[in-house]
Structure 1
């Protein structure tokens, strides 16, 4: 029997705290985080139940990776894995000191990256809208319109609304004026 378990779980890109809480809960169940692929496929190692604290740090650019990891080791964190710009750490220091240790996530950096993601979704939406409009017009001539294109447009609209709402929350949190 394998001591590795893979779990499919979706989190929105900047719901870092929810993802951290979930990883901590999994460790309490005896599943210790090893890595994540494609933003949603988590690998865990089965072991004893343990009260572990996982933290995620967002860094778009790390100029000196060894210095970056060394800094976190000094504060009691062990590097676990990386997925794009997200670095996963496990706190190995004294639990009583944990409250005073906080990973530094730069909200302005997060905002900049999220804006890029938002514009990518908007670009895809415009392209999809053009293609689906042509499909619908073609189907109107055949008198056999499909509901699928309409549902797809609705789904993308919800994704854009969700991303826009999240962007506005981060803008408010960081004090950034422009959007």
Structure 2
């Protein structure tokens, strides 16, 4: 740069001085915790709801359309998982008999049943989209190919066959 000279090592300029947050006079008699005295205590009255009103559940909308939910329960009835149309898990219900299961077995059971509920929901999404595309005049073969290959949605028949296969292999000992 024009007009600037390179720093001379003999100069008493310290580039790291800006990072020095401590006073040069040495230790102070004040504690760092003394700064906490500046903060007051908040006292809530009986009629004060506080700041948590933002997370209170909303009142159900009477005019809203019902949200489709798809539930799968294992044969022993210990685990029920419900899923939204897009496959997200909505709820996991456990029966009192679930307390007899080991933690590992219960976790595996929840994962298996949640996978089946998700697959059922996504197969309903397939049926819903196929019906909508038919109403718009689209070709069935092309639409089915798009839904299965591009969107990776199972058909209701595939979801039903997969659930039957899982139930037959996983719970075969329960039926004997």
Confirm or deny a common fold (TM above 0.5).
no
Higher strand proportion (structure 1 or 2): 1
TM, length-normalised to structure 2:
0.30
Larger radius of gyration: 2
